[in-house]
Chain A
């Protein structure tokens, strides 16, 4: 059963269309919701909490209809807002106990759950001090604790890593991962840092301008791109030409060479070429896609770049370098345009070629 499902969900405000015919369904687990600022993420959460009636379309959370079962949904979900939402003159314990009671937990259970939850998010002795003196990281933990204290089946986390330093960020991401796996609570987490979502989520939903751009498991976003990245200490150009002569599709990318994998023999060819040229091989790795590419790459190119073996035609090059695939596919004589990949006698247009 999907934990969240929407069907033709549309939300129009005067002058703005926040959601436009959004149809999506996500399964239990840790789900990332990606979109630029103003893409409709907060509006979607508000609708899913049953607090904002959509202009048209329907939505279900935990199999409950947001239109007339909002109260039941709000009993079963937790919500961590993006901005600061804590009173400064109350201790974290008192605050979380109060929020537990607001979810209907009896007094004794509220106290016990609050202590448990604060310990799980990593707040210890400081939880008896007023929240006003807390660091941003501690505040984020209190916000997370109040969303979890009533043991929801699903939590909405809006930008939980906002304002955290790298260590705090790692800790928060680890915590979100644990909520999904160890605690058994489904998570809908929004972020605009895609690297974070790659690390924590099982599934990512991308919305842009209120429209669904993509909804896929993370594994598919980060699938093997069918490209090898090869780095040698020196003689990159020589290796490039050698591989191109051997019939491989090769492109330069900074200090790296990107080689399209045409089968098992590609690895052998590269190995042999490196040995024959007596080069120092630093690394050879399979390139993976990143979620970022959803935004940076032209849509068509991305769709046409499946993780497929076999000789790809040059036109379907993965989109990592946006430039046209010029380079070693032509004989070493090279195009006369002074491209940096022509050998030094051809005249390097910039300084990059002179090192070879």
Chain B
């Protein structure tokens, strides 16, 4: 071997293990989860997600403090309503972080490097959806957990009921996470530009909720409460709240939810449809983006 320097030990072959699909999928998931929080990227990429997470946490901490000082347990916020109260913060988190996962690798043409390796197109899309869902769940579940823990510390009455409501709120948070992430990823993947992605996600959220709120206002003024409830299915936060109210036994936080027997299943079905369509959109988008 003609070695240039004393450190040059020449090329070494790799005879070690090569792990299969589940390892690659897991690595991809962790990579995307870290990217959603700006980890492994420069400091300025971490500012937005952690700032928003702190803002999410603030009301819960303040509320626990109020309960502790005033000794009035009914001041503790309802767990299931937390996401609805803070939907603006959640929407901003979605708008800033969904393009990071959905379009960053399209914009910089990194996608073909994945598909020239043993990474499947569907796995690629699923890992991204799972990663953003997890990040969103963390964003919403941590403050709710703070509320619950604060309630326990302050010895609010009916601990069993609180535990039940807490668990159902966690299930609701998981549903919020997957539906909101799916919608935001599908919208953000449509443009490789980050700025457009942010604007598109926030406007889908804002326009749909403004439209639904105004129609609901008119319907309620005419005492057509059922119609107002059904209209609620057209905006993501209201849609998930309908499932929470009708299937998870929560109290209503949105303006209106669809009536009892059909409302819950229809809302859940719609959630599933949103996720399925979003996966299909992501799959097609990344397939196209894989053009060498």
Contacts and interface: CB of A to CB of B under 8 A. Distances in A.
A105 B23 CA distance: 9
B19 interface: yes
A353 B118 CA distance: 67
Most chain A beta-carbon neighbours within 10 Å: one of B12, B16, B19, B117: B117
A341 interface: no
A101 interface: yes
B48 to A, nearest CB: 13
A158 B292 CA distance: 10
B115 A51 contact: yes
Given A51-B115, A104-B19, A104-B24, A85 B14 contact: no
Contacts of A45: 292
A74 B24 contact: no
A325 interface: no
A102 B119 contact: yes
Bin the interface of chain A by size: 35 or more
B24 to A, nearest CB: 6
Given A89-B42, A105-B18, A75 B112 contact: no
Contact of B12 (A77, A94, A116): A116
B273 interface: no
A71 B21 CA distance: 10
A182 interface: yes
Contacts of B40: 90, 94
Contacts of A74: 115-118
A79 interface: yes
A51 B292 contact: yes
Contacts of B114: 102
Nearest to B26: A101
A51 B19 contact: no
A102 B42 CA distance: 22
A162 interface: no
B10 interface: yes
B20 interface: yes
A84 B14 contact: no
B165 interface: no
A75 B20 CA distance: 10
A84 B109 contact: yes
B109 A81 contact: yes
Contacts of B23: 101, 104, 106
Interface in A46-86: 46, 49, 51, 71, 74-75, 77-79, 81, 83-86
Interface in A252-272: none
Contact of B19 (A42, A79, A84, A106): A106
B14 A113 contact: yes
A75 B108 contact: no
A106 B45 CA distance: 27
Contact of A83 (B1, B24, B109): B109
A75 B110 CA distance: 18
A17 interface: no
B116 A75 contact: no
Nearest to A120: B11
Interface string A16-51: 000000000000000000000000001001100101
A141 interface: no
B251 to A, nearest CB: 44
A151 B20 CA distance: 16
Given A102-B117, A104-B24, A113-B14, A46 B108 contact: no
B16 A150 contact: no
A46 B24 contact: no
B13 interface: yes
Interface in B1-38: 1, 10-14, 16-20, 23-24, 27-28, 31
Most chain B beta-carbon neighbours within 10 Å: one of A98, A130, A184: A98
A87 interface: yes
A101 B27 contact: yes
B142 interface: no
Given A102-B27, A105-B18, A79 B113 contact: yes
A90 B105 CA distance: 12
Contacts of A297: none
Given A89-B42, A104-B20, A99 B292 contact: no
A151 B24 CA distance: 17
Given A51-B292, A87-B105, A103-B18, A81 B113 contact: yes
Given A81-B109, A184-B13, 19 more contacts: A45-B292, A51-B116, A51-B292, A77-B116, A79-B116, A81-B112, A84-B108, A89-B41, A98-B27, A102-B27, A103-B18, A103-B24, A103-B117, A109-B14, A109-B17, A150-B117, A151-B14, A182-B11, A184-B11
6 contacts: A51-B292, A85-B110, A102-B28, A102-B118, A103-B18, A113-B14
**Nearest 8 pairs of A and B residues by beta carbon:** A151-B14, A79-B116, A104-B18, A183-B11, A101-B27, A85-B109, A104-B19, A87-B108
